[in-house]
Chain A
């Protein structure tokens, strides 16, 4: 599988420079563009390799963009740049397995358009990528949205880089399809369009093959000696990639197994259609289903077909029982987990502030009784494998890409924040330099004002102090029985020092 983009092996080269440059731009600091360190050691933290149990006080050693050692007694070279992770957690970079936020328009208006490539529409400056990095996502699978019959080809990118080539980690990953009817269409039309696309493909291949065989015979100075059927059969063996036009090449590659098939199934009835279609066309092995709505009701079918699944974005399915009126809430990942289907999670910014974080989504799994390792795998190793990058991403193992996230605490604790993000062994994000995040959290005093946080009394949260004093009503009192209170009563709290 060839890989577009600047090779990691050209160390200190353009990627590293671009990464540093991008960090400079993001952080507004003046850096000398020195080459990043060749060896990096993450020491003292709790390491979550995903491929094995957690390692307390573990070390991860990175050399030239790859992980070379993970353990408790790793010998650290003298020239390694040491990242002190004491009190922190070290885990593989999280993977967003299904996103179109980096594109300008989620779907093409043409229903069957396998000749498209998301690389042509990717916007490296999109705020989406900056936020992904901030949230600890080191790989984003950019793919078209669900309103399609057959969409274009997707790619996996790092959320950092100045242009698409720099960002690309793996191009030509999968073709997007959908058995859920496009908006304004219906299921019959959808399936006809799907089948027709491949029927047309076969026709086109046949015509090309016949022509190719004729050409070959001409070149050999002979005439065509067999009927059309046989000519096509012989011609097919002669066909190369360059013979196909854009319209058909990607589907041919799909048939050949060079591309995955990511099929959106927005409801349970679409799942069966997708499985049958994939089997008929011969790409069931490379198929990943994207479930939505009530598609989890077909979990057993999915398990029988052995296909992995991308869930979501919403992990809860809520519906009202039509007779009793009772609200029925289903936790979708549990359904798939119980029948043994491999799944990955998506961020869900649409439903709540917390669900936009992949590690929060994984924490929901733990809440509902799924083991921690399975939850962690669903945001790291599982999506890596589904993207055909299981050898390179998704866990902290020797030989894998050094895509590492360091968090201030357990990833399943919502108070934890992403402290460092390393991509290919190079620092891509550092919370201390994250100006935009500081803006979000800082108290803003537009137009000068009387100073920012310095003017505030530095105190602990005073309500605890208030309550500790006897008989003291908290500042402001209550709504009931307040009496004729006059404004002007000052608060009773004063700080006792210490920060928040």
Chain B
């Protein structure tokens, strides 16, 4: 029997004992062989230890309000295969352990403005003002006059009069120059450009296009998001067009070829002054310098008309009727909008002011389809209407001093810090977003701001994990730490909503993508 190791020096007593030992060895080997499969299948779906990644932390925040102390999460093949308190990690597994830390689902930003191209290859510091830095660098400190007249960056239609305003001590009625420091104008411009403003502007209705085609999946901004704990984003276009492109749901880390979760998501529409006010250029058919006379539309009346006409045309076109007249959308866009009307393709509407939110509810009510409300700065005045309309809201960012694309808009002036809590109290599905903000203003800190303003910490966490997953329609795969879901997880150095805590390990699709232990 070759299984038994015979001692080389023959010895009668040893041989006998070896024989006896041999039986015991066989018996124990057999026992181990029979019992092993049962032992490893006890708590998990993991098969082989070495394919498993086990994470052990002080507290696991599931994402739906539950917490698990001494939580262990087992990951295999990109999925969560085990969650529990004090769960055993199979031998041979890679272990990530942080006893004083916590774990949350990867954060999801459902209205992210991702910088699709890294503004001229220059990184911005703190507040995103890449363009202002560039101009200052190229043209020197006193380049403000240049910026005001440079048509590429002309923000204020009356910028050609700014020099005379300075002499007369008058404030520009359109943009308040020179009351703002001159470089503020650049900040306003850069706030728009640097925040990933990408919208196809050849037509006010661009629903046939998709943000993904413009997206740089290797953008450093995605990496910055991942390091901040945000693992999934809905990359949004801006609100330059009345009915804009479709966004895309992306992973912020991992192999580039795996980063797209949904290439053509919801259609982004804007009922606000953004389509006619905030845009850098709204090319008229004949190109050339944009003036108030060539820009279209000019008012909210025009915005509403474009919106209505697009959906009416969609129905006409779908029924084979001819469509025409000014501002007719391309046929492909009309096909997409017909999909919106039938409910196959979701729509989201960016509206901040009270009357704009009411318009959105009214307009979509005319055609009978639902939508998701974005930003909704003045939602606190319309809680009952929003609830009655059954509209989910993606709210944010919470800030007292509007920055980026919100800075130049007068619609953000009447934000209330209590809005988020009020929406939650009314039972409205509300997710939080950071839009273009990062780092100390990023999504994780938005949840922290919410807690400061009276929201329950677990509700705040849900609003950046499970709720956006539900709104995006990916909650079967993402948004909470549950067996069967994709392993998008963030390990924090402490409580996830504490300023003293930071993301330490970020796992996307089962792989450790960020490790800063």
Contacts and interface: CB of A to CB of B under 8 A. Distances in A.
B20 to A, nearest CB: 60
B265 to A, nearest CB: 7
B392 A475 contact: yes
Interface in A340-391: 349-355, 360, 363-364, 366-368
Nearest to B224: A327
Sort A-B residue pairs by CB-CB distance and give the 5 closest, nearest first. Answer: A493-B427, A480-B473, A479-B346, A476-B392, A489-B390
A471 interface: no
Of B421, B455, B500, B502, chain A has the most CB atoms within 10 Å of the CB of B500
Contacts of B389: 487-488
A318 B438 CA distance: 13
A201 to B, nearest CB: 30
B439 A316 contact: yes
Interface stretch (A22-30, A209-217, A247-255, A462-470): A462-470
Given A352-B445, A489-B390, A367 B123 contact: no
A363 B500 contact: yes
Interface string A306-327: 0000000010111110000101
A75 B422 CA distance: 46
B93 interface: no
Interface of B: 64-65, 121-127, 141-142, 220, 223-224, 265-266, 342-343, 346, 348, 361, 364-365, 368-370, 372, 380-381, 383, 387-393, 398-401, 414, 416-419, 421-422, 424-430, 437, 439-441, 445, 448-449, 451-456, 458-459, 462-463, 466-467, 470-475, 493, 497-502
Contact of A352 (B64, B414, B421, B441): B441
Contacts of A468: 65
Nearest to B347: A479
A350 B407 CA distance: 13
Contacts of A109: none
A456 B426 contact: yes
B417 A475 contact: no
B343 A475 contact: no
Contact of B452 (A415, A467, A482, A486): A415
Contacts of A486: 368-370
Given A367-B501, A475-B392, A484-B368, 4 more contacts: A443-B380, A479-B472, A479-B473, A486-B368
B440 A352 contact: yes
Size bracket, chain A contacts: 35 or more
B462 A493 contact: no
A331 to B, nearest CB: 10
Tell me the interface secondary structure of chain A in the complex: loop
A134 to B, nearest CB: 12
B456 A475 contact: no
Contacts of A462: 424-427
B498 A414 contact: yes
A242 interface: no
Contacts of A464: 64-65, 456, 458-459, 462
20 contacts: A320-B122, A352-B445, A353-B399, A354-B448, A354-B449, A366-B500, A367-B500, A414-B498, A442-B416, A456-B426, A459-B427, A460-B425, A461-B456, A463-B427, A463-B467, A479-B265, A487-B364, A493-B427, A500-B454, A500-B455
A96 to B, nearest CB: 18
Nearest to B373: A476
Contacts of B500: 363, 366-367, 412
Contact of B427 (A317, A351, A442, A491): A491
A248 to B, nearest CB: 31
B429 A327 contact: no
Given A327-B224, A412-B498, A479-B372, A463 B425 contact: no
A482 B343 contact: yes
Contact of A487 (B64, B125, B390, B499): B390
A318 B125 contact: yes
A475 B440 contact: no
A236 to B, nearest CB: 42
A478 B369 CA distance: 13
A442 B419 CA distance: 9
B427 A445 contact: no
A352 B403 CA distance: 9
A474 interface: yes
B448 A476 contact: no
Contacts of A320: 121-123
Contacts of A463: 65, 424, 427, 429-430, 459, 462-463, 467
B160 to A, nearest CB: 25
Contact of B470 (A363, A449, A474): A474
A500 B421 contact: yes
A215 B455 CA distance: 76
B493 A493 contact: no
Interface string A398-418: 000000000000001111010
A483 interface: yes
B421 A483 contact: no
A480 B365 CA distance: 19
Given A445-B381, A462-B425, A491-B428, A414 B448 contact: yes
A363 B429 CA distance: 32
A457 interface: yes
B125, B223, B459, B474 — most chain A CB neighbours (10 Å): B125
A35 interface: no
Contact of A475 (B223, B390, B418, B498): B390
B312 to A, nearest CB: 18
A146 B114 CA distance: 34
B429 A476 contact: yes
Contact of B455 (A366, A443, A461): A461
Interface centre among B426, B439, B493 (most CB of A within 10 A): B426
Interface in A59-109: none
Interface string A326-346: 010000000000000000000
Contact of B346 (A443, A482, A494): A482
Contacts of A495: 425, 427
Nearest to B223: A327
A2 interface: no
A461 B448 contact: no
A445 to B, nearest CB: 7
Contacts of B387: 475, 490-491
Nearest to B122: A320
B422 A350 contact: no
Nearest to A494: B427
A489 B387 CA distance: 8
Contacts of B470: 474, 478
B361 A487 contact: yes
Interface in A286-320: 314, 316-320
Given A360-B499, A412-B500, A456 B383 contact: yes
Contacts of A477: 370, 390, 392, 429
B223 to A, nearest CB: 7
A401 B125 CA distance: 39
Q: Which of A184, A366, A468, A480 has the most CB of B within 10 A?
A: A480
Contacts of A480: 346, 472-474
B460 to A, nearest CB: 9
A479 B370 CA distance: 9
Contacts of B449: 353-354, 414
A281 interface: no
Given A354-B445, A463-B467, A500-B456, A485 B380 contact: no
